Amino acid sequence: MVSWTTNRQRDASPIWVTPVTTTTVYVDYDGIPTTGPNTDPAGNRYDVSFAVQALQSRKIFSPGPAGFYDHAGWRVYTVDNTRIALAWGQDGASSSAGQPTELDLGTTVLPFPSLVAYNP
Ligand SMILES: [Ca+2]
Protein backbone atom coordinates (compact mmCIF):
# COMPACT_ATOMS: atom_id res chain seq x y z
CA MET A 1 0.00 0.00 0.00
CA VAL A 2 1.29 3.45 -0.94
CA SER A 3 0.67 6.35 1.35
CA TRP A 4 0.33 9.62 -0.55
CA THR A 5 1.22 12.61 1.52
CA THR A 6 1.97 16.11 0.41
CA ASN A 7 3.66 18.96 2.16
CA ARG A 8 0.88 21.52 1.96
CA GLN A 9 2.61 23.88 4.36
CA ARG A 10 4.04 26.13 1.66
CA ASP A 11 3.31 27.45 -1.81
CA ALA A 12 5.44 25.36 -4.17
CA SER A 13 4.05 27.00 -7.33
CA PRO A 14 4.31 30.79 -7.18
CA ILE A 15 3.58 33.44 -9.75
CA TRP A 16 6.73 34.53 -11.61
CA VAL A 17 6.89 38.13 -12.79
CA THR A 18 9.45 39.91 -14.96
CA PRO A 19 9.15 43.60 -15.92
CA VAL A 20 10.71 45.14 -19.01
CA THR A 21 12.05 48.05 -16.96
CA THR A 22 12.49 48.59 -13.23
CA THR A 23 9.11 49.21 -11.63
CA THR A 24 6.80 48.48 -8.74
CA VAL A 25 4.58 45.43 -9.20
CA TYR A 26 1.28 45.45 -7.32
CA VAL A 27 -0.68 42.36 -6.31
CA ASP A 28 -4.35 42.32 -5.43
CA TYR A 29 -5.28 38.87 -4.16
CA ASP A 30 -9.00 39.10 -4.88
CA GLY A 31 -8.74 41.14 -8.07
CA ILE A 32 -11.19 43.70 -6.74
CA PRO A 33 -9.59 47.17 -6.86
CA THR A 34 -11.91 48.58 -4.19
CA THR A 35 -10.66 46.20 -1.48
CA GLY A 36 -7.26 45.74 0.16
CA PRO A 37 -5.11 47.29 2.86
CA ASN A 38 -3.04 49.57 0.60
CA THR A 39 -3.72 52.18 -2.09
CA ASP A 40 -1.60 52.50 -5.24
CA PRO A 41 -0.80 55.87 -6.90
CA ALA A 42 -3.80 55.38 -9.23
CA GLY A 43 -6.18 54.99 -6.28
CA ASN A 44 -6.69 51.21 -6.53
CA ARG A 45 -6.64 49.08 -3.40
CA TYR A 46 -4.15 46.19 -3.33
CA ASP A 47 -2.52 43.75 -0.91
CA VAL A 48 1.25 43.79 -1.50
CA SER A 49 3.77 45.43 -3.82
CA PHE A 50 7.34 44.70 -4.81
CA ALA A 51 10.11 46.78 -6.33
CA VAL A 52 11.35 44.68 -9.24
CA GLN A 53 14.45 45.40 -11.33
CA ALA A 54 14.37 45.32 -15.13
CA LEU A 55 14.28 41.71 -16.38
CA GLN A 56 14.50 40.35 -12.82
CA SER A 57 12.53 37.17 -12.22
CA ARG A 58 10.58 37.74 -9.02
CA LYS A 59 8.54 35.00 -7.38
CA ILE A 60 5.27 35.96 -5.70
CA PHE A 61 3.94 33.39 -3.24
CA SER A 62 0.38 33.01 -2.01
CA PRO A 63 -0.08 34.06 1.61
CA GLY A 64 -2.14 30.92 2.25
CA PRO A 65 -3.57 29.81 4.64
CA ALA A 66 -1.60 26.56 4.67
CA GLY A 67 -3.16 24.02 2.35
CA PHE A 68 -4.95 26.66 0.29
CA TYR A 69 -2.29 28.33 -1.78
CA ASP A 70 -4.47 29.68 -4.54
CA HIS A 71 -3.61 32.33 -7.11
CA ALA A 72 -6.96 32.33 -8.88
CA GLY A 73 -8.40 35.78 -9.38
CA TRP A 74 -5.22 37.61 -8.52
CA ARG A 75 -4.59 40.94 -10.20
CA VAL A 76 -0.89 41.61 -10.85
CA TYR A 77 -0.15 44.98 -12.41
CA THR A 78 1.88 48.15 -12.64
CA VAL A 79 0.65 51.75 -12.63
CA ASP A 80 3.41 53.25 -14.78
CA ASN A 81 2.59 51.31 -17.99
CA THR A 82 5.64 49.08 -17.57
CA ARG A 83 5.04 45.86 -19.44
CA ILE A 84 5.36 42.69 -17.37
CA ALA A 85 5.49 39.00 -18.24
CA LEU A 86 3.85 36.50 -15.89
CA ALA A 87 3.95 32.77 -15.50
CA TRP A 88 2.65 30.33 -12.90
CA GLY A 89 4.66 27.26 -12.10
CA GLN A 90 6.49 25.08 -9.68
CA ASP A 91 9.56 26.44 -7.93
CA GLY A 92 12.11 23.72 -7.31
CA ALA A 93 13.63 25.71 -4.46
CA SER A 94 10.25 25.79 -2.68
CA SER A 95 9.25 22.21 -3.42
CA SER A 96 9.72 19.11 -1.35
CA ALA A 97 11.38 15.87 -2.34
CA GLY A 98 9.14 12.82 -2.66
CA GLN A 99 5.89 14.74 -2.95
CA PRO A 100 3.87 12.70 -5.46
CA THR A 101 0.92 15.07 -5.54
CA GLU A 102 2.96 18.25 -5.66
CA LEU A 103 2.49 18.50 -9.39
CA ASP A 104 5.12 20.00 -11.64
CA LEU A 105 2.83 22.21 -13.70
CA GLY A 106 3.09 25.64 -15.19
CA THR A 107 1.63 28.01 -17.72
CA THR A 108 1.97 31.50 -19.00
CA VAL A 109 -0.45 34.08 -17.68
CA LEU A 110 -2.16 35.91 -20.49
CA PRO A 111 -2.48 39.67 -20.18
CA PHE A 112 -5.93 41.14 -20.00
CA PRO A 113 -5.69 44.92 -20.17
CA SER A 114 -8.05 46.95 -18.09
CA LEU A 115 -10.89 48.53 -19.98
CA VAL A 116 -10.75 52.30 -19.89
CA ALA A 117 -14.07 53.93 -20.70
CA TYR A 118 -15.31 57.46 -20.34
CA ASN A 119 -18.29 59.56 -21.29
CA PRO A 120 -17.06 62.50 -23.40
CA1 LIG B 1 -8.66 43.74 -3.66
Please give the distance, rounded to the nearest whole angstrom, from the Cα atom of residue 5 to the centre of ligand 1: 33
Task: Name residue 84's beta-bridge partners.
Answer: 19
CA 66 to ligand 1 center in whole angstroms: 20
pLDDT at 7: 55
Q: Would you state the pLDDT for residue 99?
A: 65
Q: What is the pLDDT along the chain (120 residues), one digit of tens a residue?
A: 444 444 566 788 899 999 999 999 999 999 999 999 999 999 999 999 999 999 999 999 999 887 778 888 999 999 999 999 999 988 888 777 776 656 677 888 887 766 667 777
Asked if 14 and 62 touch (Cβ cutoff 8 Å), the reply is yes
pLDDT of residue 12: 82
**Interatomic CA distance for residues 33 and 46, integer angstroms:** 7
CB distance 46 to 9 below 8 Å: no
Please confirm whether the linkage preceding 65 is cis (ω < 30° from 0): yes
CB 47: neighbour CB atoms within 10 A?
Answer: 16
Q: What is the Å distance from ligand 1's center to 6 Cα?
A: 30
Question: Can you give the pLDDT at residue 4?
Answer: 43
Please tell me the distance between residue 64's alpha carbon and the centre of ligand 1 in angstroms: 16
Tell me the whole-structure pTM to 2 decimals: 0.82
So what's the pLDDT on residue 114?
65
